[in-house]
């Protein structure tokens, strides 16, 4: 390894690896530092993504697709199930393999990786980030870089050290826990979403099939709910009610920052991508595809900046992100805030009225329209998302 | 008998305690900490005492109840 790189990326999740790949493809030198021993593990994710979200980055491969999704089921608090055929295909991933494949693609493009490299500070000179400090096998080390890309996820400390306001309001943090269980009966082509005060207030509970008899079962609740009752407690209750005899193969915790993108995702010598930049879709909590898009845009822009010899060019990334997804996420966030405080009766009413729509005419768009029929101010936002595109 | 020594936060006794044996090292608490007062490595977590203000946001955000409020203060081990 070298003492100095054009670009150092902190974090080897999907956003970090895509930033690394799209930068390295332009012939600039890239180093990725990953805190954990393995890229892709431990997984902290429900693992659902749309086919189009994947296809922009990697050819779909059976070795990391555990289930192909064609239906969305909303389960209201009273048990009413409203099922919709999705317009496109979705996947439930095996993230520990998927992330690894993304890293391989970045390495093939020329990016270097080091795992078990714990970044604990920045090199800052003249108010500009010039590299990172890290620990590796017990030794303190430093590596210089013209640009540091922070893909350090929900912790998002690297941006803070650079003076960006990356701290997450606890009310925006969806605090999640998930069990991967075996021995459950469900349709392997359907993603199930449970709503209600007793299952996941202010969030939702998911059951995503991961092949025959296996599912990711989990939920997220805002830190504002966590103040009174933890995600773990909700998961325990759900498991007792629905899957008392299932074997738990994996049990994980994790956080999803559900807010619009940060105001500033670049600074002097630094760019933020993925969860660290708040690039999660704040309505769904999905962040794999949007994180990869953020990483790609950052990687391209960083590579261009190095080649031009103009580091101010990195600020162009903010505009590119907002044009591609950032503004759309602001709309999603307004919808999220609209449905955040729905009471159980409302979810029940939505499911009942939605089930009166003939099956072939159902869509996610008209589910939301039904959901928001009593919230006229939000209908404009919904129209923006589903009609205008 | 020597007197019990307590860990000191920014504004008095440290009242927040992370139970590392129960922790999944997921990072929720780190993300919501307004003071950047939590260090999280691959499988190691601890509070940076002089930065902590006992605000408890980490407790509310922990999905699996690993962080506790210890009203008597956290003794030095």
Secondary structure (DSSP) of A262-309: PS--EETTEEE-GGGGT-S-TTT---HHHHHHHHHHHHHHHHHHHHHT
β-bridge pairing B16-18 and B67-69? antiparallel
Judge whether A193 and A216 are in contact, CB under 8 Å.
Answer: no
* Residue of B24, B41, B61 lying closest to A173 (CB–CB): B61
Radius of gyration in angstroms for the set of CA atoms belonging to chain A, rounded to a whole number: 21
Q: A379 and A290: one domain? A: no
In a domain, B31, yes or no: yes
Instruction: Tell me, yes or no, whether A372 and A228 share the same domain.
Output: no
Which residues of chain A lie closer than 8 angstroms to B18, CB-CB?
none
A161 is a domain residue:
yes
Contact across the interface for B27 and A160, Cβ inside 8 Å: no
**Burial class for A52, CB neighbours closer than 10 Å (0-12, 13-18, 19+):** exposed
Tell whether A248 and A301 lie within a shared domain: no
Residue of A nearest to B65 (CA): A230
Contact A274, A295 (CB under 8 A): yes
CATH code of residue A161: 3.50.50.60
Which residue is associated with the tokens 């600074």? A267
Whether A293 is in a domain gets the answer yes
* pLDDT recorded at residue A385: 55
Contact yes or no for A170 and B61 at CB 8 A: yes
Could you tell me if A150 and A37 lie in one domain?
A: yes
Q: For residue A383, what pLDDT is reported?
A: 57
The total number of structural domains that make up chain B = 1
- Is B57 within 8 Å of A254 when comparing Cβ atoms? no
> Would you say residue A190 has pLDDT above 90?
yes
What DSSP character marks residue A150? E
Tell me how far apart the alpha carbons of residues A207 and A197 are, in angstroms, rounded to a whole number. Answer: 17
User: Which of residues A350 and A153 earns the better pLDDT score?
Assistant: A153
**Residue B2 belongs to a domain:** no
pLDDT of A56 over the 60 cut? yes
On chain A, the residues whose CB falls within 8 A of the CB of B69 are none
The pLDDT tens digits for A127-177 are 999 999 999 999 999 999 999 999 999 999 999 999 999 999 999 999 999
Domain count, chain A: 3
Residue A202's pLDDT is 86
Which range of residues forms the domain containing residue B12? 8-66
First and final CA of chain B: distance in angstroms?
15
Percent of chain A residues topping a pLDDT of 70:
95
Distance CA A327, CA A312 (A): 23
Q: Do A254 and B36 touch (CB under 8 A)?
A: no
B30 sits in which H/E element: helix B28-32
- A49-54: which pairs have CB atoms within 8 A and are 24 or more residues apart? A49/A90, A49/A91, A49/A93, A49/A286, A49/A288, A49/A289, A50/A88, A50/A89, A50/A90, A50/A91, A50/A289, A51/A88, A51/A89, A51/A90, A51/A91, A52/A88, A53/A286, A53/A288, A53/A289, A53/A290, A53/A292, A54/A91, A54/A289
CA atoms within 13 A on the CB side of A14: 29
Backbone angles phi, psi at B38, to 5 degrees: -125, 130
Which of the 8 DSSP states describes residue A109?
T
- As a whole number of Å, the CA-based R_g of chain B is 12
Domain of residue A84, CATH code: 3.30.9.10
Same domain, A218 and A365: no
Question: Could you tell me which residues of chain A have a Cβ less than 8 Å from any Cβ in chain B?
Answer: 35-37, 42, 44, 116, 118, 120, 153-157, 160, 167-170, 173, 175-177, 223-224, 226-227, 230-233, 251-255, 257
Choose among B31, B60, B65: nearest Cβ to A168.
Answer: B31
Cβ atoms within 10 Å of A96's Cβ, excluding its own: 17
Question: If you write DSSP's letter for every residue of A307-334 in order, what string do you get?
Answer: HHT-GGGGGHHHHHHIIIIIHHHHHHHH
How does pLDDT run across A82-109, given as a tens digit for each residue?
Answer: 998 888 899 999 999 999 999 999 999 9
- Angle (deg, nearest 10), helices A344-354 and A364-371: 130
Range(s) of the domain holding residue A348:
336-388
The domain boundary residue, chosen from A257, A280, A307: A257
Task: State both tokens at B74.
Answer: 């956290």
Q: Which of B39, B57, B61 is facing A255, going by the closest CB pair?
A: B61
Q: What is the ipTM metric for this complex?
A: 0.95
Q: Could you tell me the sign of the dihedral formed by the alpha carbons of A2, A7, A10, A16, in that order?
A: negative
Q: Residue A377 falls within a domain, yes or no?
A: yes
Query: What local confidence, expressed as pLDDT, does residue A105 receive?
Result: 98
Chain B residues touching chain A at CB-CB below 8 Å: 24-28, 30-34, 36, 39-42, 57, 60-65
Separation in Å, CA of B7 to nearest CA in chain A? 23
The alpha-carbon gap from A175 to the nearest alpha carbon of chain B, in Å, equals 5
B63, B65, B67: best to mutate for the A interface, most A CBs within 10 A? B63
> Which among B31, B42, B57 has the least Cβ separation from residue A257?
B31
Burial of A37: CB neighbours in 10 Å, binned 0-12, 13-18, 19+: exposed
Query: Over the stretch A235-287, which tens digit does the pLDDT of each residue have?
Result: 999 999 999 999 999 999 999 999 999 999 999 999 999 999 999 999 989 99
The CA distance from A153 to B62, in Å, is 16
Q: How far apart are CA A265 and CA A261, in angstroms?
A: 8
CATH of residue B36: 3.30.70.20
Sort out which chain A residues have CB atoms less than 8 A from B42's CB and list them: 35-37, 116, 118
User: Which residues, including other chains, have CB under 8 Å from residue B25's CB and lie 6 or more apart?
Assistant: A42, B40, B41, B42, B43, B44, B45
DSSP, collapsed to helix, strand or coil, labels residue A6 as strand
Is A54 inside any structural domain?
Answer: no
């Amino acid at each position: 390894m070298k003492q100095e790189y054009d670009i150092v990326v902190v974090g080897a999740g999907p956003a970090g690896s895509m930033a690394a790949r799209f930068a390295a493809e332009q012939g600039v030198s890239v180093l990725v530092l990953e805190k954990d021993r393995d890229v892709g593990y431990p997984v902290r994710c429900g693992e659902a993504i749309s086919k189009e979200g994947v296809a922009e980055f990697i050819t779909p491969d059976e070795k990391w697709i555990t289930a192909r999704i064609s239906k969305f089921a909303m389960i209201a608090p009273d048990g009413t199930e409203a099922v919709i055929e999705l317009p496109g295909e979705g996947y439930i991933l095996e993230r520990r393999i998927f992330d690894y494949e993304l890293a391989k693609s970045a390495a093939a493009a020329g990016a270097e990786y080091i795992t078990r490299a714990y970044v604990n500070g920045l090199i800052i000179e003249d108010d500009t980030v010039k590299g990172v400090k890290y620990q590796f096998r017990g030794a303190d080390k430093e590596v210089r870089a013209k640009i540091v890309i922070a893909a350090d996820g929900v912790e998002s400390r690297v941006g803070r050290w650079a003076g960006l306001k990356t701290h997450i309001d606890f009310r925006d943090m969806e605090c999640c826990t998930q069990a991967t269980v075996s021995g459950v009966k469900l349709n392997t082509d359907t993603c199930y979403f449970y709503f209600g005060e007793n299952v996941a207030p202010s969030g939702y509970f998911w059951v995503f099939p991961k092949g025959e008899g296996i599912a990711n079962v989990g939920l997220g609740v805002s830190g504002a709910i966590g103040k009174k009752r933890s995600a773990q407690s909700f998961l325990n209750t759900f498991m007792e009610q629905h899957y008392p005899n299932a074997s738990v193969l994996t049990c994980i915790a994790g956080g999803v920052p559900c807010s619009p993108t940060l105001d500033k995702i670049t600074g002097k010598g630094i760019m933020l991508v993925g969860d660290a930049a708040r690039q999660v879709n704040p309505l769904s909590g999905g962040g794999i595809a949007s994180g990869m898009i953020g990483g790609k845009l950052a990687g391209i822009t960083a590579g261009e900046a190095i080649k031009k010899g103009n580091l101010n060019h990195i600020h162009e990334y903010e505009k590119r992100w907002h044009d591609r997804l950032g503004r759309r996420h602001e709309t999603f966030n307004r919808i999220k805030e609209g449905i955040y405080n729905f009471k159980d009766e409302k979810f029940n009413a939505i499911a009942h009225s939605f089930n009166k729509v003939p099956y072939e005419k159902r869509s996610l768009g008209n589910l939301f329209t039904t959901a928001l029929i009593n919230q006229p101010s939000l209908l404009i936002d919904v129209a923006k998302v589903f009609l205008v595109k | 008998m020597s007197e019990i020594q307590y860990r000191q936060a920014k504004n008095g006794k440290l009242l927040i305690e992370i139970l590392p044996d129960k922790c999944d090292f997921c990072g929720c608490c780190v993300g919501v900490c307004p003071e950047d007062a939590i260090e999280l490595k691959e499988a190691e977590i601890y509070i940076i005492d002089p930065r902590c203000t006992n605000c408890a946001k980490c407790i509310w955000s922990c999905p699996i109840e690993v962080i506790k409020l210890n009203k008597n203060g956290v003794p030095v081990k």
